[in-house]
Structure 1
Amino acid sequence: MSRSLGFKLGAIALLILLLMIPLLMIDGLVDERQGLRYEVMQGIARSSSYSQQITGPILVLPYIKTTREWKTNEKTGERYSEERQRRGRLYFLPERFVLEGQVGTELRARGIYEARLYRSDSQVSGQFRLPARLGLGDDLGFYRFEKPFLSVGISDIRGISNDLQLRLNGQTQSFAPGSGDDNFGAGVHAPLPALDAQSGQTLDFAFDLKLQGTEQLSVVPVGRDSRVKLSSDWPHPSFVGEYLPSRREISDKGFSAEWQTSFFATNLEEALRDCVGAERCQGLFGRNFGVSFVDPVDQYLKTDRAIKYALLFIALTFATFFLFEVLKRLAVHPMQYALVGLLLALGFMRLWYRSWAGISVCARRRVPGICWRGGLPDCFVNGRRNNGSVRGYIPRCGRRRACMVRRGGKPDEPGSPGARFYRLSEIPACRVRGSPG
């Protein structure tokens, strides 16, 4: 008995190892499909636009500073003055920054792979407060200012879908391509009228921005007081960045979120100085927040998670059958273990079914291999040592289960030895007669 038991346990262990071969092949297929999906998403993004980040607006004032330096002639000992000119720029962040946007999402597909695009319709407004003498004090006389401009950084300008017009103190200015400053990367800029450098000045600005992108939309809160409100029809938002929304509402119809920050939380002035002075702009661009429109759990991720537990599922299933066999003293042929394990392996091939049969079909019918629950154990439980043995099992996707048990009777009666079931929706799991025990 112990020898037979050891042989059966060894056979079960060998079957588990053999069943890991198709599971590893399916795992490789999942990895391949994930890579192909990523390539498709990148291809669609290359054809439209990538993730978008809005940085700005920032007021930029170019200048030429003239300085005098006294030097001594080494030969004659006479002193003389030498003028030097240095070019630079002054940067001003808005006192108040407000962005309100409505975001709509849509799916683009290539074959069986899909990518999600979004289109945002945003209204940007705010106010600049320039200090008297531009904060330069008595050194203002050494500066000669050039034409100022308003710079808005947009990570992928291909996504801009409207004619940008800046409304500044009741006047309208057109935006031009390019941010106007290499530190801010890609974007747009709008020329401004000459500023009054002697006295303080207030500039109210507003413009509409329609932007298309993929996966993620983020904003850098450039204002001393920044308020951003986004609403969308996407019901599964993932809030990203360094600041969570202060208020949010999420439902099946979409979400609405609102952020509010200040200079005390962002320390954006120091980040801007590091960006324009030491060319370390990562700290400026990293102080952002936004939302991601990627599916939180897609079919490939769920399949990958299931395959990671495949060995556990197979081992527990075989252990359950083995316990039924020992407790009920019903002999189960190793081929029955093999076929049931094969059905379990087929359960992880939903990904392959989805690739050609469609998601809706698989959702209704599923894979027969995952429909074993309750069916085969019922055969073991309902079987009797003296009056029957397990003869077969036919799983079916749904609530009905069929078990052919040898109990005698007419060949045409269900449950008799001659009974046969041929249905397109049913796959025979085993056709090996168990010994009477």
Structure 2
Amino acid sequence: MEIQENQQPEEKTFFQSNTAKMLMVGFLTLVLLIPLFFVQNLIDERSKRKVEMQDEVTNLWGKDILFYGPTLRVPYTSYENYNVTDTKTGTTTIQRKATTNYAYFFPDELANTSNVKKNESLKRGIFNHVVFTADMNFKGSFSNPNFAKLGVTDENLQWDKAAIVVKTTNLKSIKSELKIQVNNEKFTFEPQNSDKSNYSVLATNTFNYKELSATGKINFNFSITYNGSNSIKFIPVGKVTTVSVDSDWESPSFEGSFAASDTTKSVSSKGFHADWKIMDINRTFSQQYLNALPDLDDYLFGVKLIQTVDEYQQNERASKYGFLVIGLTFLIFFLIQSISKVNIHIFQYTMIGLALIMFYTLLISITEHSSFSFAYAIAGNSVVSLITLYSISILKDRKFPMFIGIALSVLYTFIYVIIQLEDYALLVGSIGLFAILAGVMYFSRKIDWNK
């Protein structure tokens, strides 16, 4: 009589269980954050190198343009009494010391029109930096200054030594001759000793104010051509200040203490137009000052010519989704492994993870020589094709690798859309992640996790 023994199925060890495999894949995902961290450092390093290049270019071409003025400057004599004691006789006498000080008056009317043209990119190695040339015209008028408010008597005024002063930045970036027409006469601006602010001072040669203002006021008109970058800003020193800026720059940012007029402001792919009108009632400083001009930087307004998102910002945003891409890709492979009963070795997971990391190095290197969109398409297609072909050899099938290729393509497309969005990035990202979670829950609902 033969005794038949019941053959019991071989029990799986802990390391063969789904739990152990999940732990190993999760640990590998965390380990792959190390090379992803180095990729983010590489992006940061290249971004800093670009900033250094931009600083080099702007130092040569021209930086931000800030304009403060024009201002009428009239010198006056002030006297200071002091005591002098004779050491031999012990008698004390009072003597007077005369010093020359200055009174400053802002214009009644100040109108500016500026035409800002984007210039050819200045290239340093592989980096480009866009700069501009600004043609600026100023005109307006000064009324007779009221020295009574300042407590200065008429006999102490030096009317024959009056001048018009402007304060501005980047004297070396001015590319035109600086002449101003004051009523019927022309004067030339010359550099003065700079004050302790960020501005440089330009002043005309002196003139006799009373002779020049026979009509009761002084009209002025002058133009300046600047090489600049980043921004153009003004201080509204006129009782009525109007500024009009036209440019072919397609991405302006209107900044400062005063907003551009909504009725005339326009922005398109061909450029922008903006107008400002500021009256003395809109700001809290006076029209006349003694001894020195005040610091009025808090009242600056104008436009910043920006690049909405440069290539390194886009690369940085893409790299922040690296953990999500690696985690979801490993999850797809793990679910396929659990459904198809195909064993995927941890080494194969590692190769897939490194291929995902290579996406970011390809992206940043290609972006530096082309557009971000083109680089993203090349890097994404390369990595998806590589992983899809590798999956065919792992899974011994074409159905699951095709699914993996489609899933990765959708994932990279989804991330690209989020990167391009600004106002709706969080909303779209949240909806997309919810849809991904719902899909994972649906496809994993029948898997027996106890095996």
CA separation of 1:245/1:275 partners in 2, compared to 1, >3 Å: closer, same or farther? farther
Q: Deviations over 1:198-256 (max 9, x none)?
A: 99931111111111112222111211111111111110112222222123211000111
Instruction: Give matches, 1:32-431, under 5 Å.
Output: 32-66=45-79, 82-106=95-119, 107-132=121-146, 135-136=149-150, 139-145=153-159, 147-178=161-192, 185-196=199-210, 201-247=216-262, 248-269=265-286, 276=292, 281=295, 284-327=296-339, 331-349=343-361, 350-355=363-368, 362=375, 365-368=378-381, 371=384
Q: How many Å apart are 1:290 and its aligned residue? A: 1.8
Q: How many Å apart are 1:149 and its aligned residue? A: 1.1
Q: How many Å apart are 1:389 and its aligned residue? A: 7.9
CA separation of 1:62/1:187 partners in 2, compared to 1, >3 Å: closer, same or farther? same
Q: How many Å apart are 1:262 and its aligned residue? A: 2.1
| Unaligned segments of structure 2, at least 5 residues | 1-11, 411-450
Q: Deviations over 1:152-196 (max 9, x none)?
A: 112101111111210111222122223776667314221352123
* 1:25 matched residue in structure 2: 38
Higher relative CO (CA 8 A, sep ≥ 6), structure 1 or 2? Answer: 2
The answer to whether the Cα contact below 8 Å between 2:101 and 2:291 also exists between their aligned partners in 1 is no
TM-score (norm 1): 0.76
Counterpart Cα distance in 2 of 1:343 and 1:127: 68
Counterpart Cα distance in 2 of 1:180 and 1:345: 53
CA separation of 1:228/1:157 partners in 2, compared to 1, >3 Å: closer, same or farther? same
- Give secondary structure in 2 for the equivalent of 1:222: coil
Counterpart Cα distance in 1 of 2:350 and 2:269: 44
Counterpart Cα distance in 1 of 2:365 and 2:231: 29
| Unaligned segments of structure 1, at least 5 residues | 401-436
The answer to whether the Cα contact below 8 Å between 1:57 and 1:150 also exists between their aligned partners in 2 is yes
Comparing 233-242 and 93-102, the one that deviates more: 233-242
- Give secondary structure in 2 for the equivalent of 1:269: coil
1:309 partner amino acid: Y
The answer to whether the Cα contact below 8 Å between 1:183 and 1:276 also exists between their aligned partners in 2 is no
Q: Deviations over 1:74-129 (max 9, x none)?
A: 99999965323232110101111111111011211111111121100111111111
1:276 partner amino acid: A
Counterpart Cα distance in 2 of 1:200 and 1:85: 32
Counterpart Cα distance in 2 of 1:322 and 1:258: 60
The answer to whether the Cα contact below 8 Å between 1:151 and 1:180 also exists between their aligned partners in 2 is no
The answer to whether the Cα contact below 8 Å between 1:65 and 1:144 also exists between their aligned partners in 2 is no
Counterpart Cα distance in 2 of 1:94 and 1:351: 52
Q: How many Å apart are 1:335 and its aligned residue? A: 3.9
**How large is the RMSD of aligned CA atoms in angstroms?**
4.0
1:35 partner amino acid: K
CA separation of 1:228/1:59 partners in 2, compared to 1, >3 Å: closer, same or farther? same
Number of residue pairs the alignment of both structures matches: 391
1:55 partner amino acid: Y
The answer to whether the Cα contact below 8 Å between 2:43 and 2:312 also exists between their aligned partners in 1 is yes
2:360 partner amino acid: F
CA separation of 1:329/1:171 partners in 2, compared to 1, >3 Å: closer, same or farther? same
Counterpart Cα distance in 1 of 2:55 and 2:133: 17
- Give secondary structure in 2 for the equivalent of 1:268: coil
- Give secondary structure in 2 for the equivalent of 1:94: coil
CA separation of 1:373/1:339 partners in 2, compared to 1, >3 Å: closer, same or farther? closer
Q: How many Å apart are 1:324 and its aligned residue? A: 4.0
1:46 partner amino acid: N
1:34 partner amino acid: S
The answer to whether the Cα contact below 8 Å between 2:355 and 2:387 also exists between their aligned partners in 1 is no
1:345 partner amino acid: I
Counterpart Cα distance in 1 of 2:74 and 2:385: 73
Counterpart Cα distance in 2 of 1:394 and 1:388: 10
Counterpart Cα distance in 2 of 1:274 and 1:216: 31
- Give secondary structure in 2 for the equivalent of 1:196: helix
Q: How many Å apart are 1:42 and its aligned residue? A: 0.9
Q: How many Å apart are 1:300 and its aligned residue? A: 0.3
CA separation of 1:388/1:74 partners in 2, compared to 1, >3 Å: closer, same or farther? closer
Counterpart Cα distance in 2 of 1:50 and 1:12: 52
CA separation of 1:82/1:337 partners in 2, compared to 1, >3 Å: closer, same or farther? same
The answer to whether the Cα contact below 8 Å between 1:116 and 1:294 also exists between their aligned partners in 2 is no
- Give secondary structure in 1 for the equivalent of 2:258: coil
Counterpart Cα distance in 2 of 1:291 and 1:388: 56
Q: How many Å apart are 1:344 and its aligned residue? A: 1.9
- Give secondary structure in 2 for the equivalent of 1:235: coil
The answer to whether the Cα contact below 8 Å between 2:160 and 2:207 also exists between their aligned partners in 1 is no
CA separation of 1:391/1:285 partners in 2, compared to 1, >3 Å: closer, same or farther? closer
CA separation of 1:357/1:182 partners in 2, compared to 1, >3 Å: closer, same or farther? closer
Counterpart Cα distance in 2 of 1:311 and 1:267: 52
Counterpart Cα distance in 1 of 2:91 and 2:223: 62
Counterpart Cα distance in 1 of 2:285 and 2:335: 66
1:235 partner amino acid: E
Q: How many Å apart are 1:321 and its aligned residue? A: 3.3
Counterpart Cα distance in 2 of 1:214 and 1:90: 34
Comparing 310-319 and 89-98, the one that deviates more: 310-319
* 1:8 matched residue in structure 2: 21
Counterpart Cα distance in 2 of 1:41 and 1:66: 51
Q: Deviations over 1:120-155 (max 9, x none)?
A: 011111111124556456733344455111111121
Counterpart Cα distance in 1 of 2:194 and 2:328: 65
Comparing 113-122 and 338-347, the one that deviates more: 338-347
